[in-house]
């Protein structure tokens, strides 16, 4: 079976029907932690929340394989079979934000502390994006 590691745009396009779901008997979709982070802290949450919600729901409905580590950690698991990265979904900020976003009305984010925190994180990510692009 062929694994397809999907970036955020692939997930968006699957959720809005621009891409067809590949045959699950031939392909395994893979959702990475970075894609989930991009959805959790996307500027789209402020102007197109319903699209982000639909994308997250699509990911969950397709039941992909998840890689819940950063790229370095994942690479290390491939090289060192004894390495077990620590990950606690209940304590993870990305999953906490995704949960809250999924429970917001599709019309948009409510004016509250959550929206302020999301705005701060989104702005910081934007400032730091040049470092990631360079990397």
pLDDT at 132 over 70: no
pLDDT at 1 over 80: yes
Q: Which domain holds residue 94?
A: 2-134
Can you give the pLDDT at residue 6?
94
Q: Which pLDDT tens digit goes with each residue over 24-56?
A: 999 999 999 999 999 999 999 999 999 999 999
Residues contacting residue 78 through CB under 8 Å, at least 6 positions apart: none
Q: Which pLDDT tens digit goes with each residue over 64-81?
A: 999 988 888 888 888 998
Can you give the pLDDT at residue 133?
67
Name the pTM for this structure.
0.86
Residue with tokens 């959805």: 39
pLDDT band of residue 135 (cuts 50, 70, 90) is: low
% of the chain exceeding 90 in pLDDT: 64
- Domain count for the chain, please give it: 1
Quick one: 116 exposed, middle or buried, by C-beta within 10 A (0-12, 13-18, 19+)? exposed
Can you give the pLDDT at residue 12?
97
Torsion of CA 131, 117, 74, 35, to 10 degrees: -90
Mean pLDDT over the full length of the chain:
90
End-to-end CA distance of the chain: 31
């Amino acid at each position: 079976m062929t694994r397809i590691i999907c970036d955020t745009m692939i997930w968006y396009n699957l959720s809005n029907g621009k891409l067809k779901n590949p045959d699950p008997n031939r392909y395994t979709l893979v959702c990475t932690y970075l894609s989930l982070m991009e959805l959790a802290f996307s500027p789209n949450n402020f102007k197109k929340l319903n699209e982000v919600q639909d994308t997250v729901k699509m990911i969950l409905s397709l039941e992909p394989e998840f890689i819940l580590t950063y790229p370095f950690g994942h690479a290390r698991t491939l090289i060192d079979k004894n390495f077990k990265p620590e990950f606690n979904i209940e304590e993870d900020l990305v999953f906490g934000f995704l949960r809250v976003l999924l429970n917001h009305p599709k019309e948009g984010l409510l004016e509250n502390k959550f929206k302020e925190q999301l705005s701060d994180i989104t702005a910081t990510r934007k400032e730091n994006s040049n470092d990631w692009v360079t990397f």
